[in-house]
Structure 1
Amino acid sequence: MALHSREDIRSELEDDIYASRDLSVAVPKYRLPDDEQNREHAYSIVHDELMLDGNSRQNLATFCQTWLDDEVHRLMNECIDKNMIDKDEYPQSAEIEARCVHILADLWNAPDAINTMGTSTTGSSEAAMLGGLALKFAWRNRREAQGKPVDKPNMICGPVQICWHKFARYFDVELREIPMENGRLLMSPEEVLKRVDENTIGVVPTLGVTFTCQYEDVKAISDALDRLQDETGLDVPIHVDGASGAFLAPFCQPEMEWDFRLPRVKSINASGHKFGLAPLGVGWIVWRGAADLPEDLIFNVNYLGGNMPTFALNFSRPGGQIVAQYYNFLRLGREGYTKVQSACYDTAEFLAAELAKMGPFRIIYDGDRTKGIPAVAWTLNDDANIGCSLYDLADKLRARGWQVPAYSMPAHREDLVVQRALIRHGVSRDLISLLLEDIERALDHFRSHPVANPLGADEATSYHH
């Protein structure tokens, strides 16, 4: 005892974290501290800072899952050390990943689901890029076999999420993005055919467009491309960006043909961490058959203990999300997914109906499960007089913790400002009722205190997807 200073002993005996010497001063923010700290104290510092983040359950801007079973938390903790790329060390996790691929191939009506090719990814952006790369490599291989140039590949899509712009820039593909027009906010077969040529690597319809949450008509586009092939011989494949809708349509609109039932659909990507109900971040890509994944994209590595093929962009990545995805497949099955997703649609339709009753809003998309994902998109009526812009309304709602983004549409419809709410698992009818009350209060406030200079897109709080 005599060897230790009195102050050191007192420090060891202190049991109140916020009376400790560690927390009596502000810690360095942008350099390593000189001394190590008690682990509980370090945890408290980080934990307290995270209180300043928003409440993810009130974030109606995000498509991503924010509510998870307790069992998912347990599985994620048990898998925190599992590296998905190391299939020799974690063979059962690799088996679970393979099962998920075949489950999805079956769900999306692949003709030979048990023998198809696919992989998990760190999100559907990576999965989308793999789908785009497969289209580009397959197109290039065909052109080279015919002795034709391969220097001007292009891809056709509607108004897309930023990952496709990244793909086009990173991998040197011309993106022929069909702009919105007055009366048309989605890709149409007619607009696709205007842009197709012999350098088109593929067409990418989206099953749940980011801006309006509606489905693009994959079957109509496929039929149009069938007619084009009959007339010209051009055989243009389809990759479906099913980031959200691929986990919705099979359960709530099973008769809709958008997947591998259409022979022209060669690959599909989806976000497991969106309406797949898995935690962030896991995506999936499945090809119609092994022949649709060019061998040039597959690498074999043997320096992790065994020889294994890999065709993802990332190398090391966590395995817990894949295990959690498999847990959801087992726990919910078709019946459970149908119940969960149907409840989300019911709540979206309720929100749309109540917003329409308020008067100033025109509903662009009302959560109709035959046309899109569980969400609502609206704008202001031409004669609306609410004393503010939708940007002001979004900013006011943030004071109550809600993130309900307002944003302008992309090319050719920048004049149209839209507000949108995603209804995910965990966004209950009661929660939406509270949101509606806060919208009413905000409108009352702006009617009594109109904004002299309403916010515009450049001044509004940033919207992040």
Structure 2
Amino acid sequence: MSDKITIPAQGRDKDTILDELSKLHLKDIPWKEGRAWSMVYYVDEDHQDLLEKAYSSFFSENYLNPFAFQSLKKMELEVIQMTASLLHGDEHVTGTMTSGGTESIFLAVYTYRERAQKLFPQIKAPEIVASTTIHPAFEKAAHLLNIKVKKAAIDQNMRAQPAELAKLISPNTILIAASAPSYPHGVLDPIAEIAALALAKKLPFHVDCCIGGFMLPWVEKLGYPIAPFDFRVPGVTSISADAHKFGYGAKGASVLLYRSMNYLKHQFYVVTDWPGGIYASPTLLGSRPGGAIAATWSAMQALGQEGYLKIAREIMQATNELKEALEGIPEIIILGDPAMNIIAFSTINNQPDIFVIADQLEQKGWMLDRQQLPNSIHLTVMRHNIPVVNQYIADLKAAIDFAQKNPAAVAKGNAALYGLMARIPFRGMVETNVRHIFEELYDFSKSTSITEDEKPVSLPDPPRWMGELNRLLTTLAQLKSFWKKR
């Protein structure tokens, strides 16, 4: 058991604290070197400095009460209006800022449940219809709100299929949801066709633009063939777009828009009989950090349309170069037809094993997102990735060469762990073990603190549960093989 961590008896020197924070950073992935293909959305040091100063200038302000801080109220409303304009909303489009995509999606699901309870009280078991590539935040929200998510299969191009979605609609359906684009493959769902279905069935339709809302409009302006996905499409009733992604605001900031107040009004929560006074909340959070709002507003003001367009042009040029290079590798196949700067790729028939390739890339210092169904590697091309695209391709080719020459490598290292995780038929056992991982992560009776004498590494060391989980998954794979032979 580790020593119990408590608040220091005496306060520590601030310079010592800041020095320790710098040392802690050394354990993180060196994303500024372009080695990470997700999570960090970065413009340059000048923009970073602006975000930090804007955030700090409203560091203490609490947006719990929109009327107490008129400055934050003004900035939130302007961010909402600027986002609505970007996504072709008219003067009736309204919404709120949230802490991120998960909250935006949760609130959309909550809003449509509340709307259904008021307008269609006969619905006792509400359902959402979406495709298998819809973001898990919808399922998380549905789980918390006692709603069922019915998912339709995607087509061979990784797109939602309106006909399959239509088969799942029932008298209990309260919402249809789709992606623009889907996170796993960067593929744009057929929004217009799904919206037509929603109109025909008189159902609300939410478009998850969390990753695409602040990129697709600029990609379209650059001349790329982007089908309408926003409020131009009749039938789209709400859109979520993360400002802390390609809006280049500070974490966490997202925008949730509705076609009119007729929808947004169901999102508000009010309690009138609390001894502390009347409690009213427009979003999920009570206390809301003013810094995220100020930083998002500042980012939009600083970059302007010209700045966003310039960054999108640079990123899409690098994306095209990366895509062409991947298409030139015989063993590689790109999944679907990516609409923007997201690419998912695998190997033909998983030969050689894509996770062995991923392991080799990680050994060279690349941070990768592995995906399943099918097994693949996911890349979101960021501005800081642009200088290292050629190096990535060179390392990828070397990794493929290694995997081809070492077919036994499928049973080693992370390839076995992630590969079996993706292929194992007993999903309940996978869930149990993932839950165990989180339990161990937050079990303070077993955790250890980072000491100053630890050596910095570019990637975190494998956690101690990896070997145990790897052995378990190997055993399960053997069981699968045994039952196949019976």
Provide TM-score, normalisation by structure 1. 0.80
Aligned-partner Cα distance in 1 for 2:397–2:314: 24
Pick closer, same or farther for the CA change 1:336–1:194 going to 2, 3 Å: same
Contact between 1:392 and 1:454, CA under 8 Å: does it hold in 2? Answer: no
Among 146, 166, 189, which residue is 2:162 paired with?
189
Aligned-partner Cα distance in 1 for 2:350–2:170: 44
Aligned-partner Cα distance in 1 for 2:64–2:272: 10
Alignment correspondent of 1:138: 115
The yes-or-no answer on 1:421 pairing with 2:379 is yes
TM-superposed deviation, 1:31: 3.8
Give 2:298's aligned amino acid. Y
TM-superposed deviation, 1:340: 1.4
Alignment correspondent of 1:382: 349
Contact between 2:130 and 2:149, CA under 8 Å: does it hold in 1? Answer: yes
Pick closer, same or farther for the CA change 1:214–1:43 going to 2, 3 Å: same
Q: Greater Rg, structure 1 or structure 2?
A: 1
TM-superposed deviation, 1:33: 4.5
Structure 2 stretches lacking a partner, 5+ long: 423-433, 435-486
Pick closer, same or farther for the CA change 1:140–1:278 going to 2, 3 Å: same
Aligned-partner Cα distance in 1 for 2:128–2:231: 20
Alignment correspondent of 2:145: 171
Alignment correspondent of 1:354: 325
| Partner-residue secondary structure (3-state), 2:328 | helix
Among 65, 70, 82, which residue is 2:61 paired with?
82
1:78-97 CA-to-partner distances (Å, cap 9, x unmatched) read 22222232434421122111
Aligned-partner Cα distance in 2 for 1:98–1:355: 43
The yes-or-no answer on 1:339 pairing with 2:310 is yes
Matches within 5 A, 1:59-458: 60-68=36-44, 69=47, 70-113=49-92, 116-144=93-121, 149-158=122-131, 159-180=133-154, 183-226=156-199, 229=200, 234-253=201-220, 256-295=227-266, 297-299=268-270, 310-365=281-336, 367=338, 372-382=339-349, 384-385=351-352, 389-409=353-373, 416-428=374-386, 430-454=387-411
TM-superposed deviation, 1:44: 2.3
Contact between 2:350 and 2:375, CA under 8 Å: does it hold in 1? Answer: no
Aligned-partner Cα distance in 1 for 2:40–2:118: 36
Among 30, 44, 51, which residue is 2:19 paired with?
44
Contact between 1:63 and 1:424, CA under 8 Å: does it hold in 2? Answer: no
Alignment correspondent of 2:475: none
Aligned-partner Cα distance in 2 for 1:347–1:155: 37
| Partner-residue secondary structure (3-state), 2:125 | coil
Contact between 2:94 and 2:264, CA under 8 Å: does it hold in 1? Answer: yes
Aligned-partner Cα distance in 2 for 1:241–1:439: 31
1:21-71 CA-to-partner distances (Å, cap 9, x unmatched) read xxxxxx967344555433322332332122111123445442541445122
Pick closer, same or farther for the CA change 1:359–1:315 going to 2, 3 Å: same
Aligned-partner Cα distance in 2 for 1:106–1:252: 16
1:255-284 CA-to-partner distances (Å, cap 9, x unmatched) read 732222223111111111112111211111
Give 2:380's aligned amino acid. L
TM-superposed deviation, 1:180: 3.9
| Partner-residue secondary structure (3-state), 1:328 | helix
| Partner-residue secondary structure (3-state), 1:170 | helix
TM-superposed deviation, 1:401: 2.6
| Partner-residue secondary structure (3-state), 2:134 | coil
Give 2:174's aligned amino acid. I
Give 2:354's aligned amino acid. L
1:184-228 CA-to-partner distances (Å, cap 9, x unmatched) read 5221111111111221111111112121111111101112334xx
Provide TM-score, normalisation by structure 2. 0.77
Contact between 2:196 and 2:235, CA under 8 Å: does it hold in 1? Answer: no
Provide the aligned length of Structure 1 versus Structure 2.
410
Contact between 2:342 and 2:379, CA under 8 Å: does it hold in 1? Answer: yes
Pick closer, same or farther for the CA change 1:366–1:307 going to 2, 3 Å: same
Contact between 1:215 and 1:245, CA under 8 Å: does it hold in 2? Answer: no
Alignment correspondent of 1:56: 31
Aligned-partner Cα distance in 1 for 2:240–2:174: 17
Contact between 1:65 and 1:279, CA under 8 Å: does it hold in 2? Answer: no
Matches within 5 A, 1:11-50: 30-50=5-25
Deviates more, 1:78-87 or 1:94-103: 78-87
Aligned-partner Cα distance in 2 for 1:143–1:396: 55
Give 2:418's aligned amino acid. A
| Partner-residue secondary structure (3-state), 2:399 | helix
1:285-313 CA-to-partner distances (Å, cap 9, x unmatched) read 0111111223463437999x998953110
TM-superposed deviation, 1:418: 1.0
Give 2:127's aligned amino acid. N
Structure 1 stretches lacking a partner, 5+ long: 1-26, 410-415
Contact between 2:248 and 2:296, CA under 8 Å: does it hold in 1? Answer: yes
Deviates more, 1:56-65 or 1:433-442: 56-65
Identity across matched positions, percent? 19
| Partner-residue secondary structure (3-state), 1:211 | coil
TM-superposed deviation, 1:137: 1.6
Pick closer, same or farther for the CA change 1:128–1:236 going to 2, 3 Å: same
Aligned-partner Cα distance in 2 for 1:64–1:270: 16
Aligned-partner Cα distance in 2 for 1:105–1:331: 18
Give 1:375's aligned amino acid. I
Pick closer, same or farther for the CA change 1:426–1:296 going to 2, 3 Å: closer
